[in-house]
Structure 1
Amino acid sequence: METKTVSGVSSDDTQRADVIVEAAGRLFFAPGCPRVSMDDLARELGMSKKTIYRHFPDKRSLLAAVLDRKFAAVERTLVAAAEDAEGQPFDVGIQRFLIAAGSELERLGAAQLAVGRGDAMLREYVEQRVDAVIYRRLDELLVDGHRQGLLPAPPELLSAIICGALERLLTSQLPRDLDWTAADLLRATVDTVLYGAIRSGGHAIDDAPHGAALPGVRSDSPG
């Protein structure tokens, strides 16, 4: 006799749905992977498409389930970054949050998902999840910093600059052109926004308090 969960869904069904979502995430969102069909997924899983469709009525619902799982992982990473920054100066917390966010979005391929998967509803879904998981938290951090008197500029302006830079870095060729990782570029962007881009008294932005040295710049280089 099949055991039922409280929701009325069998544990076997739940396990099978998890296996399908895991395989779909591995195939559909692999970097540089061509468009994968449900037939490809069925072959990978060794099950019929009918079985897949019993759990997910269409490809869109399956992709949404994959994205839910991926963004849940992003949230866990950001929570860990926030916990790691507790007790640290405000700018360190901002840096760690954004670098973690940028690294996760780069790994997820969220920018490419937002523009290249050919489904308007999924693009909107990705945008909403990025906004909820990352940008709203960033806004809260910046508003808190402004409230503490640590950020003289309007938090809305800083948010627009940083979010725009993040989206641009993830979709541009700049990391490849400069031979920097997206995280390196994001760190430099945060330093520029927080400390300014102009040298003052012979000190560069990487010499600012709590700032991370930029790639290729030695900390003992002459000013």
Structure 2
Amino acid sequence: MGNARSLMILVDLTKYFFRFILSDRRKKYGKTIDGEEIFSSNYQDLAVIKLFDRKHGGTYVEIGAQDAVKRSNSYALEINYGWRGLSFEIDREYVRFFNWFRHNTCIEGDATKHDYAEIFNQHALPKIIDYLQIDIDPPEASLAVLKQIPFDQFSFSFITFEHDAYQFGQQTALAQRQILELNGYVPLALDVSQDNKPFEDWWVSQAIFAKLADKTDLPLKNQDCQTIAIELARL
């Protein structure tokens, strides 16, 4: 048993060495958009940076982390703006590599079974968290996670929820809208799209909504994710 575990760790270390040490993942997967270095595949990190006016020292919760760098919604926030946060991921290898490479913590496990209030308190997260990402597969699992978020104890200034309506229909999207509206959140952009495929909704707290200068066109609907992220600097 001990030899098998040692072999497993050696294999992981070898994979990590080639994937993270020999390869410059920041250079490989980062790109500059509107003056910002980003890593998200759908511009969520750019949206956060723009919405919070390049805020330093913010906080995030990232449910569905996958890779520590590639397509990460939190990496730019951590390395460029000093954000603190928690990530959650079910895949053991992703979690191991994340915790070796990143300063912030990734927690392994089924995201539908965590006690989020207890975990947030254990890690001393503030009662107002800047950014919440929910993005696990399938969308029904993301909805199950949303139902477990302790909105009675913690609030979030910006939320992105992936519903993949282009692939699975609007049922999950409509259900999460009802939950978030009942909890007082305001839709910033519905059916955020890429390549004309609506995949996500973006929400803000009432406090953030009250600060937006231009509310007349909100919520944005069926617009491209990059366009929305850049436009957030105008709001």
TM-score, normalized by length of structure 2? 0.26
TM-score, normalized by length of structure 1? 0.27
Structure with the higher helix share, 1 or 2: 1
Q: Which has the larger radius of gyration?
A: 1
Greater relative CO (CA pairs within 8 A, separation 6+): 2
Structure with the higher strand share, 1 or 2: 2
